[in-house]
């Protein structure tokens, strides 16, 4: 952290805390570009150090978003951010008053903003999102918000796959790491979110190592192929057309190939990528511009692109159905926003499933993970407490630094005086006797004055803090 220190006399009023009145103290400021927090300590009384947690105020962690638990795909697809939109959104968010840091996680199943913000900042974010995507106010009913410890728990659960449609799926951790890097590149990741995200990644690794949450993997790709297999009862005589060439399409091609698909086509905007992927599984590649001519061949159509607009239009499918002479097409649209135009599912002989429709298939395949999820939740509780303890311990760091600096100044002063005594011819033993007595007197003067005043005011909190801070025996009570 870049630190700028400023020591000045200020008046500190802590009216919220019992037995406190106006106390003249010094202040030390720790500042970086994201955060400016005032840490106070009494130059004459280090007792106040143990009260730093009550004296400081830090913007809380907040989450605003929606996911497959709160909104259907028709709504989720309206708030997907990808490409350059992510950086633009992050910069816009942190420009809002009351928003200091931001990370944006946007996938087919969730769009969630992880921010360091006050409540007013969170409310401005909500209004910004509605305006950014031209959404009416009723859309707000699908948004959820959580903060502080509940927000930490949510992020941990997301990273571990415990909040996923597919319980324990591993892809979400990679997506969260991508979101972390996007925020770094956009300059919207500060110290608080940075520490939280790094701890989150470590927690996710621990959960996957120490539990069976990732055993017997079920993915959207495997669920789609499983559903298609139920529809056709075998693939040897059928043709599949995959649209896209990302990780999900690669998994689809792998599953279809392992089940002996008759023919496999891969269509993508980047035909070289399509050719590379199709070649690994004995398939054929084509550009998106040739989809219309290939659709009549497809018994199975599965789409997963990042296109903001549909790539399979209604007129495409009408023509394909006519050419197929009523032979059915099994179609799955995994993309968000959807790749297959709304209305295609209403056509006769087209059996269209969205990513939300796959949920039932997925639920059947993850029952053996539920016990592991319970175990993972217990570990998460321990990790949340550990993280909070780490963060809370940081509150004392400025006070410890100030205490050491103050003590060093006293030590240097007394040391100089002791050296002068030696130079005047005093014996070493007399100089040591003076130095140790002077150190004790100077370092205990402030606490002693404050404790006498605390006694006069019956300030038991401050007296008790002194006992704790100096590890004093209980028998010293008067």
User: What would the two tokens of residue 324 be?
Assistant: 């197929």
The pairing of strands 110-117 and 61-67 is: antiparallel
Phi, psi of 355 (to 5 degrees): -60, -30
User: How far is the C-alpha of 446 from the C-alpha of 317, rounded, in Å?
Assistant: 84
User: How far is the C-alpha of 192 from the C-alpha of 117, rounded, in Å?
Assistant: 11
Q: Write down the catalytic residue from 22, 50, 108, 303.
A: 108
User: How far is the C-alpha of 250 from the C-alpha of 261, rounded, in Å?
Assistant: 14
Element of type H or E holding 326: none
Using omega within 30 degrees of 0 as the cis cutoff, is the peptide bond preceding 461 cis?
Answer: no
Rounded to the nearest angstrom, the gap between the alpha carbon of residue 104 and the centroid of all alpha carbons in its chain is: 8
DSSP 183: H
Helix/strand/coil percentages in the chain, nearest 5: 55, 15, 30
CB 20 within 8 A of CB 48: no
CB 469 within 8 A of CB 49: yes
User: How far is the C-alpha of 252 from the C-alpha of 112, rounded, in Å?
Assistant: 27
CB 277 within 8 A of CB 298: no
The rounded radius of gyration (Å) of the Cα atoms in the chain is: 32
Contacts with 63 (C-beta within 8 Å, 6 or more apart), sequence order: 112, 113, 114, 115, 144, 145, 146, 147, 151, 154, 155
108 in active site: yes
User: What would the two tokens of residue 301 be?
Assistant: 């159509």
The pairing of strands 144-147 and 61-67 is: antiparallel
**Catalytic residue list:** 108
């Amino acid at each position: 952290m870049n630190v700028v220190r400023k020591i000045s006399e200020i008046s500190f009023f802590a009216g919220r805390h019992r037995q406190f009145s106006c106390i003249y103290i010094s202040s030390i400021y720790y500042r970086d570009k994201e955060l400016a927090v005032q840490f106070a300590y009494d130059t004459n009384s280090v007792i106040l150090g143990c009260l730093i947690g009550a004296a400081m105020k830090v913007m809380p962690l907040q989450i605003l978003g929606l996911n497959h638990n709160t909104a259907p795909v028709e709504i989720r697809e309206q708030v997907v951010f990808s490409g350059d939109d992510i950086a633009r959104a992050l910069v816009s968010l942190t420009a809002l008053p009351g928003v200091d840091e931001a990370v944006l996680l946007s996938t087919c199943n969730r769009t969630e903003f992880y921010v360091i913000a006050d409540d007013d900042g969170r409310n401005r974010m909500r209004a910004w999102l509605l305006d950014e995507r031209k959404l009416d106010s009723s859309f707000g009913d699908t948004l959820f918000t959580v903060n502080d410890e509940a927000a930490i728990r949510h992020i941990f659960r997301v990273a571990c796959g415990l909040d996923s449609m597919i319980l324990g799926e591993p892809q979400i951790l990679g997506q969260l790491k991508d979101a972390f890097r996007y925020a770094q590149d956009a300059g919207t990741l500060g110290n608080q979110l940075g520490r939280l995200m790094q701890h989150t990644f470590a927690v996710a690794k621990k959960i996957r190592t120490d539990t069976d949450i990732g055993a017997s993997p079920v993915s959207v790709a495997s669920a789609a192929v499983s559903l298609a297999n139920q529809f056709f009862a075998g693939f040897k005589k059928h043709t599949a057309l995959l649209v896209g060439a990302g990780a999900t399409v690669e998994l689809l091609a792998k599953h279809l190939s392992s089940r002996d698909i008759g023919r496999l086509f891969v269509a993508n905007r980047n035909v070289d990528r399509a050719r590379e992927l199709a070649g690994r599984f004995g398939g054929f590649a084509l550009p998106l511009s040739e989809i219309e001519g290939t659709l009549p061949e497809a018994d199975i159509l599965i789409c997963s692109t990042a296109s903001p607009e549909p790539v399979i239009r209604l007129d495409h499918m009408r023509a394909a159905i006519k050419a197929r002479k009523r032979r059915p097409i099994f179609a799955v649209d995994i993309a968000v926003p959807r790749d297959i135009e709304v209305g295609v599912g209403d056509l006769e002989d087209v059996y269209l499933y969205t990513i939300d429709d796959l949920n039932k298939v997925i639920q059947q395949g993850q029952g053996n993970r539920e016990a592991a999820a319970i175990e993972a939740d217990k570990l998460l509780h321990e990790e949340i407490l550990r993280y909070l303890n780490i963060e809370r311990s940081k509150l004392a760091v400025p006070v410890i630094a100030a205490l050491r600096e103050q003590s060093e100044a006293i030590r240097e002063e007394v040391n100089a005086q002791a050296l002068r005594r030696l130079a005047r011819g005093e014996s070493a033993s007399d100089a040591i006797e003076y130095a140790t007595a002077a150190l004790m007197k100077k370092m205990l003067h402030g606490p002693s004055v404050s404790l006498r005043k605390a006694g006069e005011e019956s300030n038991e909190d401050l007296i008790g803090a002194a006992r704790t801070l100096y590890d004093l025996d209980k028998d010293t009570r008067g």
